[in-house]
């Protein structure tokens, strides 16, 4: 089966199956994300508690990513991902049942968000490092870009559908549909032939292997810089689940439908960025391009802070999504192309730590600042902090580059 150059990773049967299943499941995931944020605001009317739920959801990534990266290098990845996807389906269906029966309380949402994070911290490094075995190293750049496009196509469809659904029938169907969507990706994984078997390695404990991954990252300046960029973009930009609902409600006076479309604007920008990245072929993105994309995303947030019209907010969220996904997907590609096969799970565990692990910090800070000073101040602080941090990382690299 032949595909256009920008879609050539889909010529690999296993990747095509996995990608298609993920696309359906991710729509459900984004529906749940919007539903969860709106549910918390309905239950508590508190920006701080909204930020706290996001913090709890990503806290396991902060705590356990180094270890789960080593686990992903030890176990067959397909079976590991099957287990995590089943656990995530159970979490969504439990939340749906609580809402449908009218028994849901804030603490239920908080605990289930933490359990979601526990499943996700095992899933992320396994799924990220499995891609190279599904699509091959020669099509890895294209495969990662297509994964980003699927993720962000779902970010367009899921929030818009959830916003319309919530406005008409409430949040419970968003959680139910997400739980059912996992059946599609589980079916796809059962049809995939690649097992993702672990590479031969010297004997050692999980903690010792995790330490070897950290030492590799610290001893490789390009890897260290890319992980720093992932941390900054995740900390400052990828808190959409906290600041977009607050911005919609408090700054624009909008409802669930408008909130869904604002989240979709982020996704539309990200899909555009991912498809642009897919045209690179097998080339590794230049570091300067990654920094520029990250700066564009931060500048988009800074410009959004004073906006008071729905129509003006949409293009700025598009810009933030566009720059953010180019930066993050390019960092992912750079790390996977550079990592030795036997360390790929651990390197992607570090990527998950920087990406998802910084989100609890960013979510807590955004929610806390929004509680005290308003969402506009939180947006301005996030955008400005990101720009300053990117300038500092670029300065460090210029001083270090001649030595590497």
Condensed to tens digits (0 to 9), the pLDDT of residues 48-75 reads 888 788 888 888 887 888 788 788 878 8
Whether 315 has a pLDDT exceeding 80, the answer reads yes
Give me the residue label for tokens 């459900």: 28
Condensed to tens digits (0 to 9), the pLDDT of residues 213-270 reads 788 888 888 888 999 999 999 888 888 877 888 888 888 888 777 887 888 888 788 8
Comparing 94-103, 235-244, 281-290, 326-335, the range with the smallest average pLDDT is: 281-290
What is the 3-class SS of 55-113, one letter each residue? HHHHHHHHHHHHHHHHHHHHCCHHHHHHHHHHHHHHHHHHHHHHHHCCCCCHHHHHHHH
Q: How confident is the model at residue 202 (pLDDT cuts 50, 70, 90)?
A: low
Contact 352, 70 (CB under 8 A): no
Give me the residue label for tokens 């656990």: 87
How would you class 338 by CB atoms within 10 Å of its CB: exposed for 0-12, middle for 13-18, buried for 19 or more? middle
pLDDT attached to residue 404: 46
Please count the structural domains in the chain.
Answer: 1
CATH number assigned to the domain comprising residue 345: 1.20.1250.20
Q: What is the pTM of this model?
A: 0.74
Comparing 123-127, 307-311, 339-343, the range with the smallest average pLDDT is: 339-343
Contact 104, 43 (CB under 8 A): yes
Domain containing residue 271? 5-199+206-403
pLDDT attached to residue 89: 95
Whether 203 has a pLDDT exceeding 80, the answer reads no
Cα–Cα distance between 171 and 109 in angstroms, integer?
A: 13
Condensed to tens digits (0 to 9), the pLDDT of residues 118-153 reads 999 889 888 888 888 888 777 877 888 788 778 777
Residue 215 neighbours by CB under 8 Å, 6+ apart: none
Contact 404, 287 (CB under 8 A): no
Comparing 180-184, 187-191, 262-266, the range with the smallest average pLDDT is: 262-266
């Amino acid at each position: 089966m032949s595909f256009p150059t920008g879609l050539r990773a889909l010529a690999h049967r296993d990747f095509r199956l996995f990608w298609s299943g993920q696309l359906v499941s991710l729509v459900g995931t984004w529906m749940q994300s919007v539903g969860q944020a709106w549910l918390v605001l309905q239950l508590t009317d508190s920006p701080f508690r909204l930020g706290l739920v996001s913090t709890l959801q990503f806290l396991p990534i902060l705590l356990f990513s180094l270890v789960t990266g080593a686990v992903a290098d030890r176990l067959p990845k397909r079976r590991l991902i099957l287990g995590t996807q089943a656990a995530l389906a159970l979490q969504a269906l439990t939340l749906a049942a609580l809402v449908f029966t009218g028994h849901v309380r804030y603490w239920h949402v908080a605990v289930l968000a933490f359990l979601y994070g526990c499943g996700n911290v095992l899933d992320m490094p396994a799924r990220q490092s499995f891609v190279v075995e599904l699509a091959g190293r020669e099509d890895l750049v294209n495969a990662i870009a297509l994964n980003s496009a699927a993720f962000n196509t779902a970010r367009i469809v899921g929030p818009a559908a959830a916003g319309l659904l919530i406005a008409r029938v409430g949040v419970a169907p968003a959680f139910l549909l997400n739980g059912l969507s996992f059946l599609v990706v589980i079916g796809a994984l059962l049809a995939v032939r690649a097992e993702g078997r672990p590479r031969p390695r010297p004997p050692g404990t999980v903690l010792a292997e995790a330490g070897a991954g950290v030492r590799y990252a610290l001893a490789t300046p390009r890897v260290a810089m890319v992980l720093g960029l992932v941390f900054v973009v995740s900390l400052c930009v990828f808190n959409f689940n906290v600041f977009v609902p607050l911005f919609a409600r408090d700054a624009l006076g909008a409802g669930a439908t408008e909130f869904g479309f604002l989240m979709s604007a982020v996704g539309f920008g990200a899909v555009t960025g991912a498809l642009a990245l897919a045209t690179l072929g097998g080339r590794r993105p230049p570091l300067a391009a990654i920094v520029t994309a990250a700066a564009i995303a931060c500048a988009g947030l800074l410009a959004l802070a004073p906006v008071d019209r729905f129509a003006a907010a949409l293009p700025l969220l598009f810009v933030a999504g566009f720059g953010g996904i180019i930066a993050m997907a390019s960092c992912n590609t750079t790390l996977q192309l550079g990592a030795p096969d036997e360390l790929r799970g651990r390197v992607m565990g570090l990527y998950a730590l920087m990406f998802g692990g910084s989100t609890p910090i960013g979510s807590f800070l955004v929610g806390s600042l929004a509680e005290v000073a308003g969402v506009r101040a939180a947006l301005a602080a996030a955008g400005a902090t990101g720009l300053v941090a990117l300038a500092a990382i670029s300065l460090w690299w210029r001083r270090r580059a001649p030595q590497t």
